[in-house]
Structures are given as structure tokens and as C-alpha cells.
Structure 1
Amino acid sequence: MSRIVALTGATGFIGNVLAHRFHAAGWVVRALVRASSRTANLATIPIQFVEGDLSDFGSLRRLVEGVDDVVHCAGLVRGASLADFESVNVHGVENVLQASCDQTRVPRFLLMSSLAAREPVLSPYATSKLQGEAQLALLARDMEWMVLRPPAVYGPGDRELRPLFEWMGRGIALKLGHDHARFSLLYVDDLADAVVMCLENPFSALRVVEFHDGYPGGYSWNDVIDTVERICQRRVARFSISESLLRFVALCNITASRLTGYTPMFTPGKVRELRHHNWVCDNAVIRDAIGWVPKIALDEGLRKTFGWGCKAHSSAQSDTTVPYRLDS
């Protein structure tokens, strides 16, 4: 009998890729979607849709009934206050978890969190992600559970990092962090493969797992810009944006959001996240536990996402060899 996986956040960037990857693995996918959700990107695969939201216990019980695993990928990344983020990133976790624990056969629970949870003092978003993890650990009782903390994830369909990369491809790089800051990245297909491998293995050796694309020691802003220059075969002008300017823009954005009613993405908390000096991950735990290793280096991931350097890549692969060893 095929594995049945309940998935929240299936219409989002990461959730959409997970749904297709689960289907490719031969699993039955059951996804929670709001009545207003756009599901066109999921139309090519058979999915059992359950209409509802994270506050509707009836729909959550239908979502998790009889499933083998729950992958909770839904999360809020835009908000003006801690209460905004808690409504989804904490209470949403609690509700899906409660519905799962109420089942006669309790499924396993994989929470897609964020590396931001490692530094909860930086922003309301980071605080809420850690609180969601804490509630899972507190309420899971005898359930098998684990948490994945990916770093910044990119790939086709991403809307958060895409503008920065696109500007670099046009020859303009805005450096939003310190030159000495280091951060990890992850291509979305590698993330999906990691989730599948986790679900195919016992959770006993996995609890809270950080992982990345294998670039040793993480990237600097200049490392990323150098990669774009090499792929696009053009010089990229580099502009360092001061923290004071970023804070001013964030405060203006918060003020504008209050006047117009839109939900802000760029906030003072987001500035503190961007200016943090260390977002570097280590693959040791997930590698040793289940044998997962990343496959997609940054240059290949950018080519797949934006189609950069395709002619050069097809005519002379030697020119696009990964310029570093993936840390397995």
C-alpha cells in the first residue's frame, strides 16, 4: 500500500515542490488548501485536496486521518508583530499537531521550520519559529517527530531571493549584509530530496536538523556575486547598503503598511536577520543519520532557476565545473 502524506503549505514555493516530489516517489499526497488558494501548479499530479485552514479542526482532522506522515510546511513570513506570526507559526503547529495526536494511529510529524529559529532574539518571525518548534517538542507526547531548519532556499518559484539574484544578473548587486557575514544556501530540489529521505528513515537519530548545499564555511555576499559574474560572464557592480539606510526603509515600510493595510515583509526584524553575521549550517547530523548529501551547487542552481549561461554550459561543461567540493 502506498504511503499517504498529509501536507500543509502545498501551494507555496517549497510545498509545491514537495508535493511533486512525493508524487514522484509513488506516495499519495493529501493537501490542505484554502478556498482562495491557487492550485494550478498542482494540477498535473493527483492530489487529495482538503479545503480549510490551520484554525479549522474539522478540516485538519480530515487532512491527517489515516495518513502515515504529516509534513507541516505552512508558515507565515510576512507580519508586523509577534502576534501576527504566532497565529500561524505557533498556533498553526499546535492545531495540526493536536489533530494528528487525536488519531487512532498517530502519524509521524515533520515540521518545516527555519534556520532563523536558531537566533530568536533577532525578529518576531524568528521567535515564532522557535516557539513552534518548542510546542512540537512539548505536545508531541509519544509521537515520532522531527524539525528541519533549512537556510535560505532558492529555485524556480521563489519570490523572496529572486529579485536580488535578478538584479545581479542585470549587473547590479545590493549587498544587504556585512562583508564578513557568512550564510548557507540550499536549492529547493535538494531540500525536497532531504524531506523524502527523512520520511523513508526512522526519526530516532533526527530531532532538529540544519542542512545546506555543501559549500564549506558558508558564502559571503562577494562569493555569491562572484558566482553570478562567472555564470553570466559579466561584471556586476557592488553596492553595500548601510544598516542605517536599511532600518530607515524598514520603518517607512512598517508605517506605510499601517496606513494601507498591507502585510509588510521588510521590517526592522528582517534587517536584523539580514545583518546577522552567521547563518552557516552543518550537514553532519543528517549525513550521518540517513546518508543525505546535497547535489546542486550554487552555480548549477542559479542556471536551473534563471537559465543563465545555458549556451556556454551546453557547449563547454568544463567551464562550469563546480568551483568547490560539496561538503558531504
Structure 2
Amino acid sequence: MSETPDDGRPVVALTGATGFIGAALSEHLVRAGYRVRALYRPRRGRVMHSASGLKWIAGDLDDKDALAAVMDGAHAVIHCAGSVRGASQADFDRVNERGVINTVEAALLAPSCERFLLISSLAAREPQLSDYARSKHLGEQALAARAGRLTWAAIRPPAVYGPGDREMLPLFQGMARGIAAIPGAGDGRFSLIHVADLASAVVAWLGTEGASGAIYELDDGHARGYDWDTVLGTAAQVLRDGAPIRRLHIPVPVLRFVARANRLGARLFGYAPMLTPGKVREITHADWVSNSAPFMQATGWQPAVPFREGLAQTLGKPLTALNGTPP
């Protein structure tokens, strides 16, 4: 069943809808009563099926005609598309900065479009750490400089997890087997958020009239973030019936060596590496704790998925009542 024209539901344009976060966003937006126009990159063998409330538009962030089609009749834009892999600063900037510029310009050409929400990253708070972090920071700056008449905001989620995630899943699967690979000394603190809470935050922003130009951090409401003791204690109860999880610390020099080899290999063979020297600086940074209080005040949003419940969902484990377990 395709999108029904002019059925009274507001239209939201969505980029990055085929990714882990984007897929959750499209589902939550349709459930909340929006019609979604979603941009996807066509490739051989890929067939996207439009459904009630969801219409797919083929194209990419450099395709002005496709961006115009996505924006047609849209009241708001959720720009979720981004690149987390790259061999150089230019690789990240092409998507995470230039992609924002192209999408904003397309939104400004659509008379119906009034609002623009950028899904950024907590890494943008520390642009000196990596090419990725800098590119996300540049994307935020590009939006601020070019938004014009649009009411805009940017959301900086911390590490996002949940069913369908591929980035954090290997870590959680290792925990389920009794081993946790921890980068460096593992003495930092960090926030987490379940993908359903991130999606509900987007819906909350769409439903709130607020001032333009805010950059918000998000988290799952766990005060002062997490340390590895708390995460592993929770994982031991949820995934292993209380059996301990052994820490496997990976020394920073080893991470740096692998990252340099990755970068060299990327230049020689033309692939986009995940672990780079910048990524090592990111994952060993001491403070990735978010403060979602300003967003909660502005929108009334509240996170609903504690880590214990979200971890069980992610691994498909039944969640039983356990007294005295970490949150």
C-alpha cells in the first residue's frame, strides 16, 4: 500500500532511513501519525517497498532532484544520514558536512518546510579527537549558518544500541560469552541510549514548538553516565544469570598499531576503515557523559528504556525480575 496523498497527516522528510537509527525513526514517526518520505541510495538488487505512511525516494545527498522530491510537501526534515567510516577527513566531510548543506538547501527551496532536525553525535562535542568528530561538528556549524527561515535543532546522542544494531552487538555478544573487550584502561565514563528512546525524542521535538538553534545532548537518564563496573555487572545478571564477565583490556599502543595499519590498508586497497587513529582517541576519551536535562525541559520527553531492559531486548534474552541488580 503506498502513501495516501493529502490524508491530513503531516509529512516528514527523512534521510538515512535505511540505517539502524533511521529505520527506527521511520517506524516511530509513522506510528506517531506522520507520513514519511524516506531517501535511499539505490543499488543493484535493492528494492524498497513503500507502505502505508512510508514512501521511498531513490537518490543520495548529492542528487538535487531526489532531495526536492523528498522535501515536496514536507513540514519538517529529519536529517539522519551520516558516515561513520572513512580513510580521510574528506571522506567524512563529504557526507557529514556537505550532505547537511545540500539537505538544508533543498529544505529551504520547499515552501512547506518549516523545521529541520539534525541527528548529530556526542562526538561533535570534541572535534579535535578525530576526523569523524570534526565532520559532525562542521555539519552542526553548516546547519547553523545556512538554516535561514527554518526552525532548527541538532541532537547529539551518545552510543546508541538496540535490536538491529551492528556496531555494539559484538561487544554485547562477547559479554554473553563471558568476555568484555575493553579499550585501554577502561576508566572513563559514558552515556548510552536505546534506539527507541532516541526515536521517541525525535517525535517529541516534532511535537513541540520551541526556539530555534539549540544543540541538545541525550541519554537514557542514568545519572552521571556509566562506568565499566556498572555495565558489566548489569550484563552479568541479564546475560549470564550472575556469572562473572572477564575483562580483556586492549592496550592503547596495540589499538594505535592496528589503526595505523588500517589506514595504510585503506589507502592501498580503497576501503573505508572503522578503527583509525582518530577513532582510538574517541573510544579512549575519558568523558562521554551526556546531559539531557535541557532537552527534557524543552520538550517534556523522558527516556523509557533502562540499560538492563534494553540489553535484554538487544540480545533477545528474557528479562526476569532480579533483586539488587544494577540499573
Partner of 1:282: 291
Q: Displacement, 1:224?
A: 1.1
- CA positional deviation for 1:206: 6.5
Q: Corresponding residue for 2:282?
A: 273
Which residue number in structure 2 is paired with residue 54 of structure 1? Answer: 61
* SS of 1:230 mapped into structure 2: helix
Please report the TM-score for the alignment, with normalisation by the length of structure 2: 0.93
Structure 1 residue aligned with 2:265: 256
Of 104, 109, 113, the match for 1:106:
113
Number of positions where the alignment pairs a residue of Structure 1 with one of Structure 2: 318
User: Per-residue deviation at 1:323?
Assistant: 3.5
Q: Is the 8 A contact 1:53 1:59 kept in 2?
A: yes
Between the aligned partners of 1:57 and 1:244, the Cα distance in structure 2 is: 45
What's the offset of the Cα at 1:320?
Answer: 6.1
1:125 paired with 2:132, answer yes
Residue in structure 1 matched with residue 190 of structure 2 by the alignment: 183
Gaps of 5+ in 2: 1-7
For residues 2-33 of structure 1, give each alpha carbon's deviation from its aligned partner in whole angstroms, at most 9, with x where no partner exists.
01000000000000000011111121110011
C-alpha distance in structure 2 between counterparts of 1:170 and 1:216, whole Å? 28
Alpha-carbon contact 1:11-1:38 (below 8 Å) kept: no
More helix by share: 1
Match of 1:237 among 241, 246, 251: 246
Indicate how the Cα distance of structure 1 residues 167 and 207 shifts in structure 2: closer, same or farther if over 3 A, else same: same
Structure 1 residues 214, 14: CA separation in 2 closer, same or farther (over 3 Å shift)?
same
Q: Where does residue 66 of structure 1 map in the other structure?
A: 73
Residue equivalent to 1:167: 174
Amino acid in structure 2 at the alignment position of 1:133: E
**Match for 1:115 among 115, 122, 130?**
122
Asked if residue 137 in structure 1 is aligned to residue 138 in structure 2, the reply is: no
- Whichever residue aligns with residue 18 of structure 1, its letter is L
Is the CA contact 2:161–2:168 (under 8 Å) kept in the aligned structure 1? yes
Is contact 1:151-1:185 (8 Å) kept? Answer: yes
Superposition pairs of residues 293-304 of structure 1, within 5 angstroms: 293-304=302-313
Report the alpha carbon displacement of residue 296 of structure 1 after superposing the two structures with TM.
Answer: 0.7
| Residue matched to 1:86 | 93
Q: What is aligned with 2:3?
A: none
Paired residue type of 1:124:
D
Deviation at 1:259, TM superposition (A): 2.7
SS of aligned partner of 1:142? coil
Q: Specify which of 8, 15, 29 is matched with residue 8 of structure 1.
A: 15
Tell me: CA distance 1:45–1:258, structure 2 relative to 1, closer, same or farther (3 Å): farther
Q: Work out whether residues 11 and 39 of structure 1, in 8 Å CA contact, stay in contact via their aligned partners in 2.
A: no
Gaps of at least 5 residues in structure 1 are none
| SS state at 1:7 partner | strand
Matches within 5 A, 1:31-42: 31-36=38-43
Mapped contact 1:11–1:37 kept (Cα < 8 A):
no
What per-residue deviation string (whole Å, max 9, x for no partner) do you get for residues 145-169 of structure 1?
Answer: 0000000000011111111111111
Residues 1:46 and 1:210: Cα distance change in structure 2 (over 3 Å): same
CA distance 1:39–1:155, shift in 2 (3 Å)? farther
**Cα root mean square deviation, aligned:** 1.8
1:198 aligns with 2:191: no
Q: Report the alpha carbon displacement of residue 258 of structure 1 after superposing the two structures with TM.
A: 2.4
The reply on whether 1:96 has 2:76 as its aligned counterpart is no
SS at match of 2:128: helix
How far is the alpha carbon of 1:267 from its aligned partner? 0.6
1:35, 1:51 within 8 Å by CA — same for their partners in 2? yes
- TM-score, normalisation: structure 1: 0.92
The farther-off stretch of 264-273 and 247-256 is 247-256
- C-alpha distance in structure 2 between counterparts of 1:220 and 1:40, whole Å: 42
Structure 2 residue 32 is the aligned partner of structure 1 residue 25: yes
CA distance in 1, matches of 2:261, 2:52: 43
Cα distance in structure 2, aligned partners of 1:44 and 1:171 = 42
Q: 1:152 aligns with which of 154, 159, 183?
A: 159
Aligned to 2:4: none
Moved more, 291-300 or 250-259: 250-259
